[in-house]
Amino acid sequence: MRKAARTLIIGAAVAAAGIAGRAGPAAAETIYVTNEKGNTVSVIDGTTLEVTKTIPVGERPRGLVMSKDYKTLYICASDSGEVEAIDLDTGNVTPVVSTPDPERIDISPDGKFLFVSNEDDNLVSVIDIAGQKVTDQIPVGVEPEGMGVSPDGKYVVNTSETTNMAHVIDIAEHKIIANVLVDPRPRVVVWKKDASQFWVSAEVGGTVSVIDAATFKEVKKISFAVPGLNQEAIQGEGIAFTPDEKTAFVALGPANRVAVVDAQTYEVKDYMLVGQRVWNITMDSTGARLYSANGLSNDVTVIDVASLQPIKSIPVGDEPWGAAIRP
């Protein structure tokens, strides 16, 4: 489907909901979107919902994470073999370290270390931010991708796409202490704030595994079924929780939907139509809006969380991959 047609569909959904022209509550945040084929980061004003700046970065930018003081955005420039830092006040881009084929990235709770999946080398790199150096490389499964640091700083979980596992790494020891089998081609890891659970999405499996962090056992497998779509089109990708963690949102890739899940009962409540091949999603700090990066329609869908309706489609760069928010 062409992008123009996609915009018409979203616009029709907004009008049908009676909220056409309304952009939800004004927000002061700024949204940053990595454009995988454009080699850029799009900067979106959270009040106007317009792109205000496009920052050239290294080749094939994918994973991204904010520094704890929200002054720096760290990105994985995969084909450049670098982790780069964007000064968010000046827009200046500087290399942090060279590391092979970095894909996803997360940061320690104290803001001192980055954890990066090196997809081609089957490694997780530990990066000392202040020293701008790799301090360790931890062997993991084949094609590592997802990275999720626990809020208490004890563990980092990496998913390996080909091994179909979530590897639990003890941060103090830099050693794998558990391997959790999940559905095929796991992608994203997201922790609950109390570090009691982590959720793992599976692209080919089309599911989300809920893992108990005390036992490292799966306590629930969430499946999805969108009426009228083949199951192969429903692929588990990005995950985001509302601030109260009562609701979870799951991006479903080429299904062009974001699922709404009761995070306590694990019941799938609804599906929201967004752009084409929704890959990663992010929630604003207030829980008012959800943003989805849609890789094939080259846009970001803004969703009003209260009404569970799309309110705007924002054109960005070529193949948007991920998004992060600066409050």
pLDDT, tens digit, 9 for 90 and up, residues 1-28: 333 333 334 433 443 333 333 444 545 8
pLDDT, tens digit, 9 for 90 and up, residues 118-142: 999 999 999 999 999 999 999 999 9
* Residue given tokens 């705007």 in the structure block: 312
Supply the pLDDT for residue 28: 83
CATH topology for 3-326 is Methylamine Dehydrogenase; Chain H (2.130.10)
pLDDT, tens digit, 9 for 90 and up, residues 205-253: 999 999 999 999 999 999 999 999 999 999 999 999 999 999 999 999 9
CA 168 to chain centre: 19
> pTM for the complete prediction?
0.92
pLDDT, tens digit, 9 for 90 and up, residues 263-299: 999 999 999 999 999 999 999 999 999 999 999 999 9
Closest CA to 183 of 157, 206, 153: 206
Supply the pLDDT for residue 17: 37
Closest CA to 39 of 312, 318, 326: 318
Each domain of the chain, given as residue ranges in start order, spans 3-326
Supply the pLDDT for residue 25: 52
Supply the pLDDT for residue 27: 57
Instruction: Work out the angle at residue 13's Cα, subtended by the Cα atoms of residues 311 and 231, and round it to the nearest 5 degrees.
Output: 105
- Looking only at the bridges linking them, the beta strands covering 123-128 and 113-118 are antiparallel
52 CB-near residues (< 8 Å, 6+ apart): 43, 44, 45
Closest CA to 43 of 317, 319, 301, 305: 317
